[in-house]
């Protein structure tokens, strides 16, 4: 739990805990889905799973989305 600042500059990301008001909020499992590349921040915001500034949600979408969908060749 807490508030974190995510910064990306020249393709390098940095994440640090801050004492500030969050621009967006969501549960940890949402972050996991976004981080693994299978989540869609815009759709999650539309369904109420991400709350906050629409411009920041769009930025999250662009940061975490990739052209190639995630794929795992192993069956668990």
Q: What is the pLDDT of residues 12-22, one digit of tens each?
A: 889 899 999 98
Q: Given this model, what pLDDT does residue 38 score?
A: 80
Q: Where are the alpha helices (DSSP H) in 1-76?
A: 28-35, 41-46, 54-64
pLDDT in tens, 32-71: 888 887 889 999 999 999 999 999 999 989 888 877 878 8
> Measured between alpha carbons, how far is 38 from 18 in angstroms, rounded to an integer?
27
Whether the model clears a pTM of 0.85, i.e. scores above it, the answer is: no
pLDDT in tens, 20-39: 998 999 998 998 888 887 88
Strand partners, 70: none
Altogether, the residues listed in the chain come to a count of 76
């Amino acid at each position: 739990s807490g508030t974190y600042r995510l910064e990306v500059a020249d393709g390098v990301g940095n994440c640090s805990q801050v004492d500030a008001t969050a621009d967006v909020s969501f549960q940890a499992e949402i972050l996991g889905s976004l981080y693994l590349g299978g989540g869609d921040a815009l759709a999650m915001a539309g369904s109420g799973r991400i709350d906050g500034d629409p411009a920041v949600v769009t930025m999250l979408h662009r940061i975490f989305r990739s052209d190639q969908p995630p794929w795992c060749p192993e069956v668990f």
